[in-house]
Structure 1
Amino acid sequence: MSITNQDVQHVAKLARLNFTPEEEQMLTEQLNAILQYAEKLNELDTDGVEPTTHVLHLSNVMREDEAKDSLPIEKVMANAPEEEDGQFKVPAVLD
């Protein structure tokens, strides 16, 4: 498979991009180089290789939930710019 200048022009039109003829030629060459490199992957023998979703083993590290005492309201409100009745006071965003 190879990319032509017409392919680049078509995609550029869809993306509403304007390229000079020199830029179109450069992009055509670069995209073809990428495709040639990707074709090398077809040369690999992948028989018996399990498909993976990620190259590294991922696992969630989770701790057990523990009930703990909450912070005292005085500590929570210590750095609040404004407070009212033990709650943060913020400017109204609706009329």
Structure 2
Amino acid sequence: MSLDAATVRRIAKLARIRVNEEEVSTLQNELNAILGYVEQLGEVNVEGVEPLSGGAQMALRQREDKLTDGDMAEKILANAPDRIENFFAVPKVVE
């Protein structure tokens, strides 16, 4: 499959990407190269290869769920523009 310049402009418009006329031919070549690679993938022999059903069946390691304050209040607030005790001070936004 090969894309023409009008199709490249349409793809850019749908993706809401501003493309100058000078960039259209470059993008056209790049997109055609990508599509060519995808066509090559279709030629790969996958006979006997089971489809990957995803990582959803993998068991994840669980850690103990414990609450800590991190003991890093001074490090965290070191660059704060304004603070009150161990909290960020922010301007009032609600009247």
Q: Which residue of 2 aligns with 1:26?
A: 26
Q: 77, 82, 87: which one pairs with 2:85?
A: 82
- The RMSD of aligned alpha carbons is 3.5
Q: Which residue of 1 aligns with 2:39?
A: 39
Q: Which runs of 4+ in 1 moved over 2 A?
A: 63-66, 78-83, 90-95
* Alignment partners' CA distance in 2, 1:48 and 1:63: 38
TM-score (norm 1): 0.58
What stretches of structure 1 of length at least 5 have no aligned partner? none
What stretches of structure 2 of length at least 5 have no aligned partner? 75-82
* Alignment partners' CA distance in 2, 1:81 and 1:7: 57
Q: How far did residue 93 of structure 1 move? A: 5.1
Q: How far did residue 30 of structure 1 move? A: 0.8
SS where residue 43 of structure 1 aligns?
coil
CA radius of gyration, larger in: 1
TM-score (norm 2): 0.58
- Is the counterpart of residue 49 in structure 1 residue 49 in structure 2? yes
